Copies of this chain bind each other. A is one copy, B any other.
Amino acid sequence: MARVTIQQVAAAAGVSPSSVSNYLNGRTNRMVPATRERIASAIADLGYRPNRAARQLRTGQTQTIGLIVPSVGNPFWGAFARELEVAALAAGCNVLLCNSERDPERERRYVEELWEDGVRGVVLCTSLPSLDHLADLIDRGLRLVTFDRPAQADDPASVVSISINNHVGGFIATSHLTDLGHKKLAFVSGSIASINRTGRFRGFCTALEAVDLDPATMPMWTGMEEVPFGDVESAQVGRRAALDLFDGTQEPPTGVVAINDMTALGFCRGLRDRGLEVGVDVSVVGFDDIILADLYDPPLTTVRQPIARMAGLAITEVLKDPSESEDGRSVLLRPELVVRQSTSAVEGAAATESVEESVEGKQALTRAEQR
Residues of chain A at the chain B interface (Cβ within 8 Å): 1, 49, 51-54, 56-57, 60, 62, 64, 67, 71-75, 77-79, 81-83, 85-86, 94-99, 113, 116-118, 140-141, 232, 235, 262, 265-266, 268-269, 272, 278, 291-292, 294-299
Contact = CB atoms under 8 A, between A and B. Distances in A.
A358 to B, nearest CB: 35
B98 A85 contact: yes
Nearest to A71: B82
Contact of A57 (B54, B78, B298): B54
Contacts of A73: 75, 78-79, 81-83, 291
A62 B57 CA distance: 13
Contacts of A116: 49, 52
Nearest to A307: B73
B74 A78 contact: yes
B118 A291 contact: no
A252 to B, nearest CB: 19
A297 B235 CA distance: 13
A95 B64 CA distance: 12
Contacts of A269: 294-295, 297, 299
B94 A96 contact: yes
A77 B79 CA distance: 10
A225 B117 CA distance: 45
Nearest to A341: B272
Nearest to A277: B297
Nearest to A62: B53
A141 B98 CA distance: 27
Which interface residue of A1, A57, A78, A278 has the most chain B CB atoms within 10 A? Answer: A78
Nearest to A1: B140
